[in-house]
Amino acid sequence: MMEENQEGKEVTKEEGKEVTKAETEQPEELKLQQRVWSWGAGTDGQLGTGKLEDEHLPQVLHLPPLSYAAPISTLACGGAHVIALSSAGKVLTWGRGTSGQRGHGEMLSSLHPKPVNFLDGYVITNVSAGWSHSGFVSDTGSLLTCWDGSFGQLGHGDYKSRSIPVKVSYFVNRHVERIACGMRHSLVLLKDCSRKQIYVFGSGKRGQLGISKDKVKSISVPQVICGIEGIEIISICANGDHSAALSADGDLYVWGRGFTGTSDVLTPQHLVSPLKFNRVALGWNHALVLTDGGEVFILGGDRHGVLSDLEKINLQKHLDSTHAVLNSVSGLDGTKVVEIAAGAEHSALLTGNI
């Protein structure tokens, strides 16, 4: 979680005192230091608190000096590691590092946020954290991946792991815009490429690659998905054995492991709906989608706490075993939601007026 001052302006910190990002230009403006908080499971150092302990309440992280040069703009949480991206394109990581997933060239965990110096030659614009691998996209369209590659999820044409970020050579002559890392697979979205826009690699045992009507065990060389040719995709998402994409028209496509007892989907499936969506978030057994009007709908989600009507979900499971069904998230009472997030078996919603 990040904090700003009462005027909503970002700040930095220098030598222990609170200062503005442009203090020399506007010294009269007082702002608070941006803060990052963490809580939950922490036995692998993924909370960044300096302790190998779980935390039931939010804890403030102490970030290294590099992060004060620009505010943190993105946080990506993996299986037990975290990636933080600053608005200046710098990267911090912390947490489990036994597979080299933090990108520091060592197989060690880190209890505190630490800069990824191997990325110093790049301005990073997009990051994603999988179960034990990670991806980084630069402003020039380069894709770098590292850590566990045992399922081909790094996209380097083999099944080896890398302890430092390595450029994916397949995309050298292509402009990558975004990467989404699932448990053991990865999705890549190319810029300005309507016919071959999404590429995938890694594990495909539940159909999460979306490249064939037959199940594919795994691939290590990027392949284009099938079924959405000619559709402009603006967003991709991956988690667990699920994959999803949103089109420029607000349509939702999902593939991979089935939700709430439905069959696995081996190629992208368009969830027909009169609603238009602008956000999608995937968990291990559920998905959240956000409409332009601030409404939240859910796919699945009847295992560890129900966000929608359980009786309705159970009825739909018996009526249709092949297609996932969207249900409205209950309890919001007309509250406008502006952002959604999903973990393995939990969800978070941000409300507000925009």
pLDDT bin (cut points 50, 70, 90) of residue 161 is: very high
CB of 282 closer than 8 Å to CB of 267: no
| Other Cβ atoms within 10 Å of 273 Cβ, number | 15
| Other Cβ atoms within 10 Å of 84 Cβ, number | 23
Closest CA to 345 of 272, 240, 252, 249: 240
Domain assignment present for residue 195? The answer is yes
Q: Say yes or no to pLDDT of 308 above 80.
A: no
Give the integer Cα–Cα distance in Å for 324 and 273: 12
Domain span at residue 132?
A: 122-276
CATH code at position 194: 2.130.10.30
Q: In what order do the strands lie in the sheet with 110-115?
A: 72-77, 81-86, 91-95, 110-115
Q: How many domains does the chain have?
A: 1
Q: Say yes or no to pLDDT of 76 above 60.
A: yes
For residues 16-31, average pLDDT: 36
Domain assignment present for residue 37? The answer is no
Domain assignment present for residue 185? The answer is yes
Give the integer Cα–Cα distance in Å for 204 and 55: 35
Secondary structure class of 154 (helix, strand, coil) = coil
Tokens of 190: 């190319």
Give the integer Cα–Cα distance in Å for 18 and 11: 8
Q: Determine the distance from the C-alpha atom of residue 70 to the mean position of all C-alpha atoms in its chain, rounded to a whole number.
A: 21
Domain assignment present for residue 62? The answer is no
Domain assignment present for residue 147? The answer is yes
Q: What is the pLDDT of residues 162-187, one digit of tens each?
A: 999 999 999 999 999 999 999 999 99
Give the integer Cα–Cα distance in Å for 187 and 85: 19
Secondary structure class of 247 (helix, strand, coil) = strand
Q: Say yes or no to pLDDT of 317 above 60.
A: no
Q: What is the pLDDT of residues 338-351, one digit of tens each?
A: 999 999 989 999 99
Q: What is the pLDDT of residues 102-148, one digit of tens each?
A: 445 566 778 999 999 999 999 999 999 999 999 999 999 999 999 99
The percent helix, strand, coil of the chain (3-state, each to 5) is 5, 40, 55
Domain assignment present for residue 135? The answer is yes
- Report the relative pairing of strands 265-270 and 277-282 from DSSP bridges: unpaired
Q: Phi/psi zone of residue 119: left (φ > 0), alpha (ψ -120 to 50 degrees), beta? A: alpha
Q: C-alpha dihedral over 319, 321, 323, 327, to 10 degrees?
A: 60
Q: Which residue has the tokens 């392949």?
A: 223
